[in-house]
Amino acid sequence: SVSAESMAPSQDKDYVKVVIPKTQEQRKRIENSIENNFLFKNLDEEQYKDVIDAMVEKRVSNHEQIIRQGGIGDFFYVVETGTFDVYVSKNGAPPEKVHSYGPGGSFGELALMYNAPRAATVVATSDSVLWALDRVTFRRILMENTSRKRKMYESFLEEVPILVSLEPYERHKIADALESAVYEDGQLVIKQGDIGNNFFLIESGEASVMKIDEEGIEHELPGLKKGDYFGELALLNNKPRAVNIKAKGRLKVATLGKKAFVRLLGPVVDILKRNSDNYETITRNARQQ
Ligand code: 1OR
């Protein structure tokens, strides 16, 4: 379990900033590596500079072990180039591969956030370049945002039916990437025919679903409620939005961009596709009414 104390970001300003001298070229490479990483979103200018100042370049060879399950957490890592596999051994059983990372990925935050032993072993599967951030700087700058978001979405994501089959850690990664948005009664969330860029989960409220047929006649389809999702179809099939979706009363949604959707919902894509087969039946039934 996680004690409140270990989660509290340090309040005192009584720290010495870590500054590892680096070239302009190295700074540029760090910026590119963290550009699409959600843990680095919403940093102010000073925090952003402090993080880059503190990072250390680490070149590793194929097969090199970066983190050992059970070990002590010292650094958080961002991948600039190369690939890594993650292994977990449960109750002394042989380690199983559970995940892999490529450029832009990051790992090693759990032990630093929770003052816990390393939860997995991470091994390079090619010659690679990493940027390592020390524990103190990680906790001072990156932890607050990360743990706030993971906590905020945790209980909600546990109750989303499509996500129940995921590991808790996979839901944490989804939480890192989610952004909430609010729509007022009657506001259009998705417009039929538009290009799709986002996936939506309903945090609270309801949405109505309307399909306009070839003759321009609007048909009402079954509505959506808390825990339901929408917007996946255009992302799965690269097709225009198939329906109009409107807020029915105040609607709060959590959204994922397309890239994050593909990366994080990979394990449930088959379920999403299977479920979407039902849409045709639903649409047909609605037309017959
Ligand atoms: P850490 O500090 O514990 C190992 O060091 C890192 O591997 C860990 O932080 C995560 O950043 C990363 N479970 C736990 N840690 C994982 C997992 C994981 N995948 C990557 N890491 N999974 C659950 C396995 C039962 C895999 C989920 C896809």
220, 253 Cβ separation under 8 angstroms: no
Q: Is 221 within a domain?
A: yes
Q: Are residues 95 and 190 in the same domain?
A: no
Q: Which CATH number does the domain housing residue 28 bear?
A: 2.60.120.10
Q: Are residues 182 and 137 in the same domain?
A: no
Q: Is 76 within a domain?
A: yes
Between residues 15 and 43, the one the model is more confident about: 43
For residue 238, what pLDDT band results from cuts at 50, 70 and 90?
Answer: confident
Q: Are residues 124 and 236 in the same domain?
A: no
Average pLDDT on 87-97 reads 96
pLDDT surpasses 60 at 115: yes
pLDDT > 70: what percent of the chain? 95
Give the model confidence (pLDDT) of 168-225 as tens digits.
999 999 999 999 999 999 999 999 999 999 999 999 999 999 999 999 999 999 999 9
pLDDT surpasses 60 at 2: no
Q: Are residues 57 and 104 in the same domain?
A: yes
pLDDT surpasses 90 at 14: no
What is the reported pLDDT for 271? 87
Within 8 A by CB and 6+ apart from 7, the residues are 113, 114, 147
pLDDT surpasses 90 at 17: yes
Cα 153 to ligand 1 centre (Å): 19
Which atom of ligand 1 lies closest to the CA of 88?
Answer: 24
Q: Is 159 within a domain?
A: no
pLDDT surpasses 70 at 11: no
Q: Is 162 within a domain?
A: no
* Residue to probe by mutation, ligand 1, list 169, 265, 268, most atoms within 8 Å of CB: 169
| Domain boundary, last residue among 142, 160, 193 | 142
pLDDT surpasses 80 at 1: no
Q: Is 86 within a domain?
A: yes
The lowest-confidence range among 138-142, 152-156, 277-281 is: 277-281
Q: Are residues 21 and 68 in the same domain?
A: yes
Q: Are residues 190 and 267 in the same domain?
A: yes
The residue written with tokens 């179809």 in the block is 233
What is the reported pLDDT for 8? 47
Q: Is 166 within a domain?
A: no
**What value of ipTM does the predicted structure carry?**
0.96
Average pLDDT on 229-251 reads 93
SS3 letters across 126-183: CCEEEEEEEHHHHHHHHHHHHHHHHHHHHHHHHCCHHHCCCCHHHHHHHHHHCEEEEE
What is the reported pLDDT for 282? 77
| Domain boundary, last residue among 117, 142, 167 | 142
Give the model confidence (pLDDT) of 48-59 as tens digits.
999 999 999 999
Q: Are residues 72 and 131 in the same domain?
A: yes
What is the reported pLDDT for 4? 43
| Total number of domains constituting the chain | 2
| Domain boundary, last residue among 142, 167, 191 | 142
Q: Are residues 203 and 127 in the same domain?
A: no
pLDDT surpasses 90 at 24: yes
Q: Is 7 within a domain?
A: no
Which atom of ligand 1 lies closest to the CA of 101?
Answer: 20
Which atom of ligand 1 lies closest to the CA of 98?
Answer: 26
Which atom of ligand 1 lies closest to the CA of 107?
Answer: 11
CA distances to 77, 124, 155, 215, 263 from 46, rounded to whole Å, are: 20, 32, 32, 56, 30
The residue written with tokens 């945790």 in the block is 154
What is the reported pLDDT for 42? 86
Q: Are residues 138 and 30 in the same domain?
A: yes
Q: Are residues 81 and 33 in the same domain?
A: yes
**Where in the sequence is the domain holding 224, given as residue range(s)?**
178-288
Q: What is the mean pLDDT of the chain?
A: 92
Q: Are residues 230 and 137 in the same domain?
A: no
- CA-nearest residue for atom 16, ligand 1, is 120
What is the reported pLDDT for 12? 56
The residue written with tokens 């290009």 in the block is 195
* Residue to probe by mutation, ligand 1, list 84, 86, 264, most atoms within 8 Å of CB: 86
Q: How far apart are CA 74 and CA 109, in angstroms?
A: 10
CA distances to 75, 184, 257 from 201, rounded to whole Å, are: 33, 16, 12
Q: Is 11 within a domain?
A: no
Q: How far apart are CA 242 and CA 190, in angstroms?
A: 9
Q: Are residues 190 and 119 in the same domain?
A: no
